[in-house]
A = this chain, B = another copy of it.
Amino acid sequence: MSDPATLPTPVQHDPAPHPLAGLPGYVLRRAANTMMAELATRLATIDMRISEATALLLIGWRNDLSSSDIGKMLDIQRANMVPLLARLDAAGLIERQPINRKSQAIVLTEPGRARLAQVQAITEQFEDDLLARIPKPHREHLVPALNALID
């Protein structure tokens, strides 16, 4: 080995800034990926995915929503709601109540209500932690700014 003092800096401990680091679209994608990975990790402790947890929150909010209704509110395709609700059903968290011969309301079972309480505890803590990471001067502007970007 050569004298370390004579070598060029071999390692960058801080990721070098690059031209994308200041682009709103890029930091939006990176921030969402980082935070959703964190949320997914926390929800995994109760065997829930983000998509399942969001659906459960909605189902617990109203007991007259059909699969299509939930999909429209969460921007999830009808076809993709099928395996999602099938997993919640297989876990015994929801059941289907006929509205007419075409539609069914998705409602929570008793185990579903218990799971929802866990989901609410995790998501509330997550939202608090997320906001706490943002410097105070910017904090209150995040949700209004992001809402302006949603469809």
How many of chain A's residues have a CB under 8 angstroms from any CB in B? 55
Interface residue A10 (Cβ < 8 Å from any Cβ of B): no
What is the total number of copies of this protein in its complex?
A: 2
A47 to chain B, nearest CB (A): 19
Q: Which of B23, B141, B150 contacts A138 (CB 8 A)?
A: B141
B24 pairs with A131, CB closer than 8 A = yes
Q: Which residues of B contact A145 (CB under 8 A)?
A: 134-135, 138-139, 141-142, 145
Chain B residues with Cβ under 8 A from A73's Cβ? Answer: 15-18
Q: With a CB–CB cut-off of 8 A, which chain B residues contact A61?
A: 18-19
A132 to chain B minimum Cβ distance, whole angstroms, is 10
Cβ–Cβ contact B75 & A33, under 8 A:
yes
Are A137 and B127 within 8 A (Cβ)? no
CB-CB contacts of A28-71 with B at 8 A, as 1s and 0s? 11111111100100000000001000100110010000000000
A87 touches B (CB below 8 Å): no
Q: Mark A138-151, 1 if CB is under 8 A from B, else 0.
A: 11011111111111
Cβ–Cβ contact B127 & A23, under 8 A: yes
- A24 lies within 8 A of B142 (CB): yes
Knowing that A25-B35, A31-B150 touch, tell me 11 more A-B residue pairs with CB under 8 angstroms. A14-B147, A18-B61, A19-B57, A19-B58, A25-B36, A25-B123, A25-B126, A27-B147, A28-B32, A142-B142, A142-B145
